[in-house]
A = this chain, B = another copy of it.
Amino acid sequence: MASTNVVGILGGMGPAAGADFVRLFVQACAQQMRARGEPVRDQSFPEHWLAQVPVPDRTDALGSAENGAHQPLEPMLQALGRLAALGSQAVAIACNTAHAWHARLQERFPQVELLHMAREVAQHLAAQRAGSVALMATEGTYRVRLYDQALADAGLDCHVPLAEERRIITRGIFDGVKAGNMQLAEACFSQVALQLVQRHGPVTIIMGCTEVPLGLQGSAAVAGLSLVDPAQVLAAALARRAYRD
């Protein structure tokens, strides 16, 4: 049995997405074992820790004055420090928008490899030879252009929804998933996804907020579309770090 590294997951943004990230990570670890021809046993999973801590809303903070942008950083720094103290060699952040603080978090804890969701997704899409993509995300993620550089580096063209469609996505995130109204979430997200495909053709849609896949899971309305879940891609990347010799 290969020795494994301890890894951490920084969650709570929102908590349902953090829980789902652990599920995706456990699935990705089982795939690692199968790919190595090892039996899947409880004891072959790497030690991993999930921190779900209250963090002020990321998009709100990015939209306000300079002081606002510091609010989410402090609890994330504290949780990341604790994950590092628990022995985590690599940490994934289970929130797209929170990656606006990725550089500052990584800078403070250079001993931990802090994965970057957008870069992992861009590499994944480039390997799959995706052509055009469209990004469904929070206003905060659009504002800091989180995916722009990574997608451009991978040679991928990215479409973004119209202002009205972005408002519908925001409604699905906050009044839908975060408030527990999954029917509303599905209606909002599927409407925008279908409009993106009508306008731009068969693009791959990046569900670039961890709440979006939770709302679209099992949705018949988008069954034919090409969707990529950044949390799943990131969970697989974290599993590779855990099993790296």
Q: Which of B43, B52, B178 contacts A40 (CB 8 A)?
A: B178
What are the residues of chain B within 8 A of A150 when measuring CB–CB? none
**B42 lies within 8 A of A53 (CB):** no
Which A residues from 27 to 45 make CB contacts under 8 A with B?
29-30, 34, 39-45
- CB within 8 Å for A22 and B42 given contacts A82-B86, A180-B30: no
What are the residues of chain B within 8 A of A26 when measuring CB–CB? 15-16, 18-19, 52
- CB within 8 Å for A49 and B50 given contacts A39-B179, A40-B178, A86-B82: yes
CA distance A48 to B15 in the complex (A): 9
**A54 lies within 8 A of B49 (CB):** no
User: In the assembly, how many copies of this chain are there?
Assistant: 2
- CB within 8 Å for A43 and B29 given contacts A23-B16, A23-B19, A82-B86: no
Which A residues from 68 to 121 make CB contacts under 8 A with B?
82, 86
Interface size of A in residues (CB-CB distance below 8 Å): 38
- CB within 8 Å for A42 and B23 given contacts A52-B48, A53-B47: no
Q: Which residue of B lies closest to A86 (CB)?
A: B82
CA distance A26 to B29 in the complex (A): 23
CB of A161 within 8 Å of the partner chain: no
CB of A56 within 8 Å of the partner chain: yes
CB of A20 within 8 Å of the partner chain: yes
Which A residues from 42 to 68 make CB contacts under 8 A with B?
42-45, 47-57
